[in-house]
Amino acid sequence: LVVAVLEGSAGRERTSAGTGRAVPGGGKNEVSGVWLLAVNDFPPLLGGQATLYFGLARHLGAREAVIMAPRAKGDAGIDATLPVEVVRRWLPAHGGGIRRAARALLAGLHLAAILARRRFDYLVCGQLLSIGAPMAFLARLTRIRYAVFVHGADLADYAHRAAWGAVARWVVAGAHTVVANSRFTASLIDRLLPGAARRIIVLPMGVDPAPPVEPVQLEALRRRYGLGAGPVLLSVSRLVPMKGHDVVIEALARLLARFPDLAYLVVGEGHHLGTLRDLARERGVAGRVIFAGAIPSGELGAHYRLATLFVQLSRATGSYDGLEGFGLTYLEAASHGLPCVAGRSGGVPEAIDDGESGLLVPPRDTAVFASTVERLLADPQALRRLSQGALRWAASHPWEASARCLRSLVDGG
């Protein structure tokens, strides 16, 4: 059963907020908050999941939630801006196998220590296994209801592995609610873990209105990257095969024949970087592909404003981390009025209003992608129409709606 929750109710006020400290005068078993949200990814860490949980945290009411997140350089400044309390604990870096197990064990110890001191009405797991497994165990032990987020690629990675799949089923089966980031992910839960989930709720994804970008910032970026007046294609993601950067690079030779000043700006880092550099050299377009690496979040808006089109051809690869459950960067681009050309795969069609905020294409078809981009770059009126549609699409996805949905889950029982 899949239920899309669109409206929520105001939360009860029980916990101190915006301080990063325990409630003054608190003691053992103090009622410290309606619910605890434990996550592996949270700013200053980058990525879609970190963006999701930060967006929710900014729009939850003061004193209704506590967040447990990993320690990271610069976290105090970020936490001070939030209306909710953030409890920071050290966790090892992401990784597979032994590192994943160690992360889950340490997260469990941190959670147990928090639950020994403070009482919560509800627990929310931000990740399926590394947070979900220890929290599911503790929730059963303390008889507190819990929800678990599923993002798509996580379930696809674990469900077909006997041991991890069994743990994933156990976590999902014990959850009061499973929270999916898209209808696609919700259907994936039903398909890969049939009958395991009692209730699945699709949480609407959100985006904040884009702040203004000064012309001087854009000029500085053009100088940094050596850009002229030609069109700029932009991708923002981890550099992994699933994101489809290779298809864009393959299409550049055809596009450069008509738009010789075109540049492809790639923001992000990852293990696929060397392969992509080699491909650009082999295709003779290395001089028009700019690998910017990871950039500070404060500079991301200027990169979106600099671009002519956002291009990201996510596709299912069948390997680890090989599936797009939604794609928040498409909404981020739309908030800056930047049209998208994206791959019709996974949950991506739910992140784009096809024909209005952008266009969907077969993610592996270089010729169709190239002709679509060529047609848009040659038609300024079509670009303007999509840009206006992108702004409307982003405005219809406020984080407030996402927070209402999560709040209704906790308060509605």
Q: Starting at the edge strand that comes first in sequence, how are the strands of the sheet with 232-236 ordered?
A: 289-293, 263-267, 232-236, 309-312, 340-343, 358-361
Tokens, residue 369: 């992608």
How far is Cα 350 from Cα 152, in angstroms, rounded to an integer? 13
387 neighbors 338 (Cβ within 8 angstroms): yes
Angstrom CA distances, 380 to 222, 254, 370, stand at: 21, 19, 17
Assign 177 a pLDDT band (cuts: 50, 70, 90). very high
* Peptide linkage before 44 cis (omega within 30 of 0): yes
> What are the structural domains, with CATH classification, of the chain?
2-206+398-412 (3.40.50.2000), 215-395 (3.40.50.2000)
| Sign of the four-CA dihedral 155, 157, 162, 167 | negative
Average pLDDT over residues 354-378: 98
Assign 29 a pLDDT band (cuts: 50, 70, 90). very low
Across 378-403, b (16+ Cβ under 10 Å) vs e yields: eeeeebeebbebbbebbeebbbebbb
Q: Which of 213, 212, 171 is nearest to 193 (CA)?
A: 171
3-state helix, strand, coil in the chain (%, to 5): 45, 15, 40
- Give the model confidence (pLDDT) of 197-242 as tens digits: 889 999 999 999 999 999 999 999 999 999 999 999 999 999 999 9
Question: What is the number of other CB atoms lying within 10 angstroms of the CB of residue 181?
Answer: 26
How far is Cα 46 from Cα 147, in angstroms, rounded to an integer? 23
User: Does position 371 have pLDDT exceeding 50, yes or no?
Assistant: yes
What 3-state DSSP class applies to 32?
Answer: strand
How far is Cα 145 from Cα 202, in angstroms, rounded to an integer? 18
Q: Which of 69, 84, 64 is nearest to 38 (CA)?
A: 69
Where is average pLDDT lowest: 24-28, 250-254, 291-295? 24-28
User: Does position 18 have pLDDT exceeding 60, yes or no?
Assistant: no
- Give the model confidence (pLDDT) of 314-358 as tens digits: 998 876 567 899 999 999 999 999 999 999 999 999 999 999 999
pLDDT of residue 24: 32
